[in-house]
Structure 1
């Protein structure tokens, strides 16, 4: 005989008010959590916006070293906001100015204690002038708004919980067995999906027919979401690769290379290290393209790209800048001679003939300009120009040669 699952209507009739009590308790707790998360997010965003405003206000005072003006500027804004302390630090992280709200007594201290536990800590934002960081500003919230929420919102929720507690306590065991446990399992899966994007989780089967249907539909929906997520991830990865890489050679393009170069120089500036840059340009590429065809030209570019990849270390980067121009970035290089040795190896690798699509062979060469940060330039664009100029010096000296850029001081 086939087992017939009990209906939800029969389960509700058996448990009377169990579902109503459960719904009130669960909704109260969930709404409290959602309200707290929303207020926490709002408080953090508010501190960020206030921090940006204070950073903009204090910028001139920090640049000119006027501590009094900085103190007055932050006080004008902070007095009217829900903040307890604002600190201005200079470029050396030394305290430049400090504003602190006067002690408001026991109630204010209690507000601060609650806010320290429930709300985000102080936010720190940079103070910029002409694109450079000249200091930082640290803003710490007071927590008065959260305290008001605690008294009004949480107090009301606790009142509802007290009213329903007596009934819920009597019916808890049967309610948990028949209805709440399956719904809670579904809610846990829903929360995991919402918070962690855990689309692989599924709801377990339940004896109640309607809840089983709900779980099956929910699992089917998760199957679709998981498929969409995997599809979107694949699409995003493809689009990101296409946006940052050259379609012919597979190398990073100019925009991606310049971005990585700027990042590498910033790290080198912080660590006190060097970054070498090789600017490479093909010789005879136009003649090959015109005489042998575009397919032959493409084959030459692909071969050059592959030969440039082979001798590089992990962390080095080679890119196609456009046409037959390439660039190689070498972070952590100690001196120019290390980059020169690589340039010589790359020149030697070009002596091997390149096989063309029609079976023929062609030999080409490259000219290389070498520049070193910070010896030859102080920023990414200047380093590229220095290496480019050195490459043209190499071309004038003869094909298949290298040349080191002139010092920025010379």
Structure 2
């Protein structure tokens, strides 16, 4: 009887420990999904602002033809219009400018909501700096300075690389925050080098986002460069200091953080990177011990061809999630011991009953992590395990669906596709199409009528997308005004494009808004097929995203 009681206790302990580990990892997965979306939004805004200033060539319709290059503005007035438009993409302070190969310079910097700095330099002349409140407002001259753009590091670095290039993270001395530049060489339609376009963005918004994340009581999330210099953190820490009369910038390193959990998490990531290759975009889960307690660490490398290499890291002690499991486990252990003391038979029955429910919770938690269908728990109890079962069902809804539109979120759709790929075989091959949808004219609704009306539009669009699909298809919101549709069993590109046209017509119908207003948005849709266009989800998304941008550029050209 004593051995049986110890066995019960051991199995209950292991089941509780496994459930706690899975809860901690699933919570970190949700956090990492949100952090990844924030990084993508921040970097994409810089790239899109440069595409407004100097649009990339339009891919040819016929194979073998040359891409169609869009002409670059030949005078300051046209270039200024593009700079104002590029600046409108940002809600926080930003700087968009162009340095010409002839020494000319034109830049517009947003320093606050209604304060802009306008800087202009003629070839081989002085640089004149003005302040104004917006396009067409009165300009006040504030400085005349010697400024040679061709000698600046961003210009020299971009000319040397010959492609889009991220700068190192730097400290903005006036605004007192960290920032980063994305530079792009500009050529005319004949291929002659004209100069360098640059977009400077502040990174303080990333720290604000991390500090607002729903982390566990002792959890942390931070973004760092490969050597550990911090970019953003969920903690209240100063990320850089200016020291000495020379103004030397000293960055906070993860190993110097005041949080032992941050130091431990970065040490675990470094150990992993010393032995394994960290694949960009892949989420890696690590377990470790910190002063005797178990912690969970999640890391994802964000990399692009322009030279960006950031580590997004989140960590949490398992003890943060222990309270939701141990109460039910300890109570059940006590019931098991009492049952063993009464009779062997009653104890054995209770043992099977207890382990069955906890095993259901463990399997349910694993299904959330690997994207498989969520099993029916059928747990009808009033104790902590019953409450935990309800929590699992609520967590499944929160992890897999977008809270605003009630469709799938990015990580959930990817997990479900990966689950179907793992379960496919030669006898039962998997075929599907993927549609990447970006809403056109949606920003105008947000700007003119407010974010509440913009949210109303997103909810209606999500409902229309769901109604336009079959039972086996899925739709997910990827963030902002982007959606992705999974079309199960579609093997023909023409079929996928016809469905895309159907979706576009559904989106294009007027939407009833507040006070009798009607909103009309459009959609640009890119299509990719599995396995013809790629064997993994990220490749398919990039292909569909690229084709979507091709369609968006075509829409813009046709609307001009």
Query: What TM-score range do you get, normalising by the shorter chain?
Result: 0.3 to 0.5
Whose relative contact order is higher, 1 or 2, with alpha carbons under 8 Å and at least 6 apart?
Answer: 1
More helix by share: 1
Which is richer in strand?
Answer: 2
Report the TM-score when normalising by structure 1. 0.45
Q: Determine which structure has more spread, i.e. the larger CA radius of gyration.
A: 1
